[in-house]
Amino acid sequence: MGQPDSRGGGERRPDADRLPPGQRPQRGWPVTHYGPVPRFRPERWEFRVFGATADGDKRCWTHEEFSALPHETVLADLHCVTKFSMRDVEWGGVRARTLLTLVPPAPGVTHVMVWAEYGYSANLRIEDFAAGHTVFATHRDGELLTAEHGFPVRLAVPHLYAWKGPKWVRGVEYMTADRRGFWEERGYHNIGDPWREQRYSYQEQPGEGPEL
Ligand SMILES: Nc1nc2c(c(=O)[nH]1)N[C@H]1C(S)=C(S)[C@@H](COP(=O)(O)O)O[C@H]1N2
Ligand SMILES: [Mo]
């Protein structure tokens, strides 16, 4: 199901046809990440939801099981903090909302940490994670992701800078307090809203992130 109106924060933004401040459009699809591209080993791979779940149990899916979860598509833009943006990316995969339904968080959950291979991580407020267009993508434009773009699973959180969307995701930790992820510990903004140009941690206002 295409969602032409999903570019903004859930409802259509009046400025949906513009780019966030300081961004320029990018042709093609560059590869941007820190560290090596992990090799996918299906027999060792699992996707885990753990931490403060409602019933206290963690939940794991094999690759085959994860691939069988309800598949939906989301049309969104991607904004890299290095200032390029890609318009109208069609992600296909499992909505974060679907996972929240399958594994309800405990009432006190305020944030999640999304974990990827090699310990890469990104923290999100639960409302950013629960947004209707937040999707664990397995496909782009109907094709399986390539290794360098995050196969088998990457997260897209279209209303935040793209570092908040780990490639090669392996799990989600439900948290009852905020904690910084990989880039958030290394000088990037704890929230990362491109429309507010929240690029760096020195721009954080009181209450926007845990102590550095
Ligand atoms: N695991 C992991 N995921 C990551 C990154 C990374 O370094 N490691 N970089 C992020 C950044 S900064 C961007 S812009 C996007 C780039 O996605 P792409 O290479 O598919 O364009 O991936 C994000 N996901
Ligand atoms: Mo980025």
Residue 26 belongs to some domain of the structure: no
Q: Is the CB of 149 under 6 A from ligand 1?
A: yes
Residue 4 belongs to some domain of the structure: no
Residue 23 belongs to some domain of the structure: no
Residue 70 belongs to some domain of the structure: yes
Residue 206 belongs to some domain of the structure: no
Structure tokens at 60: 């794991």
Residue 162 belongs to some domain of the structure: yes
CA 29 to ligand 1: nearest atom: 21
Residue 3 belongs to some domain of the structure: no
* Domain count of the fold of the chain: 1
Question: CATH code at 113?
Answer: 3.90.420.10
User: What is the full per-residue pLDDT of the chain (212 aa) written as tens digits?
Assistant: 334 444 444 445 445 678 999 999 999 999 999 999 999 999 999 999 999 999 999 999 999 999 999 999 999 999 999 999 999 999 999 999 999 999 999 999 999 999 999 999 999 999 999 999 999 999 999 999 999 999 999 999 999 999 999 999 999 999 999 999 999 999 999 999 999 999 999 999 999 999 98
Domain that holds residue 168: 42-180
Q: What is the largest CA-CA distance in the chain?
A: 46
Residue 6 belongs to some domain of the structure: no
Determine the distance separating the centroid of ligand 1 and the alpha carbon of 144, expressed in angstroms: 17
